Amino acid sequence: MHASTVRNLLVRGMLAGLIAGLFAFGVAYAIGEPSVDGSIAVEEAQAAHEAPHAGHGGAAHEEAAEEEEVVSRSVQSTAGLATGVLVYGVALGGIASLAFSFALGRVGRFSPRATAALTAAGAFTTVYLVPFLKYPATPPAVGNPDTISKRTTLFFLMILLSVLLGIAAIIIGRRLAPRLGNWNATLAAGAGFIAVVAVAFVFLPANDDAVKAGFPAALLWEFRVASLAIQAVLWAVFGILFGALAQRLLAPRAADAKTEAEQPTPAVA
């Protein structure tokens, strides 16, 4: 694939990621922010309950918390949320478009639209779903602040492991295809991926202190479902939009190349 084509796909991927980020922001604001507000209310209620027993120390903690809040909650839930989600969408859209450029024609004889859908589904599964199943998201101020570094490291380690296992599954599936056929090779590679991920789930340490004792289970469930929905919408919209853009970019070139190849070679006098 020519460098100019890759560059055009990168631009389209970032554009698709931006639009997908807008949809994800709508979902985050509609169903994600209420659970965040609820978790903050729970934290404030617990702090208010502990303050009378803390004496002057509790008052000092409250004053320090007020001073640390440089950005208001209303700005965080609107402009701040939009900025974060849109930047996230553009970045992932660019990375996914580069992965698409590598995968096109290498994972099967799929059209650009189908390859984009497979790329988006694979990215969602390996980058978010698998790590989420092991280390699910938690609302702000819910976990132990002393272990946040450990929890972040484990989460990114799970992302790296999931992505590497996904790439290995694709390579193994391609090598098994000539002997087993495409369908059976895909099933075998997928089963191997699930089996190794299950082993990793067993041996990797758990985040037992990720959620404080007494935190409402229903609120935690709502937050995690909202987090999953945001990512699902982001990748679904990206896969659809980028697939359409890539199809429009690449299909005419493929048709022109096919037509040129089918033209008879002029006879030499």
Asked whether residue 107 is assigned to any structural domain, the reply reads yes
Q: Measured between alpha carbons, how far is 151 from 187 in angstroms, rounded to an integer?
A: 33
Inter-CA distances, 256 with 48, 132, 250, 253, Å: 70, 44, 10, 5
CB of 243 within 8 A of CB of 112?
yes
Q: How many domains does the chain have?
A: 2
Q: Is residue 269 part of a domain?
A: no
The answer on 109 and 35 residing in a single domain is: yes
Which of the residue ranges 27-36, 87-96, 99-108 has the most confident prediction, judged by mean pLDDT?
A: 87-96
Classify residue 141 by its DSSP letter.
Answer: T
Q: Can you list the pairs that 110-114 forms with residues at least 24 positions away whose Cβ atoms lie under 8 Å?
A: 111/247, 111/251, 112/243, 112/246, 112/247, 112/249, 112/250, 112/251, 113/243, 113/244, 113/246, 113/247, 114/243
In this structure, is residue 69 part of a structural domain? yes
Q: Backbone phi, then psi, for 197, in 5-degree steps? A: -65, -40
Range with the poorest average pLDDT among 38-47, 195-204, 228-237, 243-252: 38-47
3-class SS of residue 264: coil
> Which residue range(s) make up the domain with 66?
3-117+213-257
Question: Do 88 and 16 share a structural domain?
Answer: yes
Burial of 93 (0-12, 13-18, 19+ CB in 10 A): buried
Gap between the Cα atoms of 146 and 209, Å rounded: 10
Looking up tokens 């193994």, which residue turns up? 172
Give the mean pLDDT of 149-174: 90
Residues 149 and 230 in one domain: no
Residue 133 lies in a domain: no
Q: Pick the last residue of a domain from 193, 210, 227.
A: 210
pLDDT reading at 266 higher than 70: no
132, pLDDT greater than 70: yes
Same structural domain for residues 111 and 230?
yes
- pLDDT band (50, 70, 90) for residue 211: confident
Model confidence band, residue 113 (pLDDT cutoffs 50, 70, 90): very high
pTM to 2 decimals?
Answer: 0.80
Residues 6+ apart with CB under 8 A from 259: none
71 and 11 in a single domain? The answer is: yes
- The pLDDT assigned to 253 comes to 58
Average pLDDT over residues 251-258: 56
Phi, psi of 213 (to 5 degrees): -65, 140
Report whether pLDDT(167) > 80: yes
Same domain for 151 and 94, yes or no, is no
Tell me, yes or no, whether 56 and 92 share the same domain. yes
Is 61's pLDDT higher than 70?
no
Residue 92 has pLDDT above 70, yes or no: yes
pLDDT at position 257: 47
- How many residues are there in the chain? 269
Average pLDDT over residues 106-120: 87
User: What does the pLDDT read at residue 66?
Assistant: 47
Residue 123 lies in a domain: no
More confident residue, 23 or 209: 23
Are residues 16 and 109 both part of a single domain? yes
Per-residue pLDDT reduced to its tens digit, 80-90: 888 999 999 99
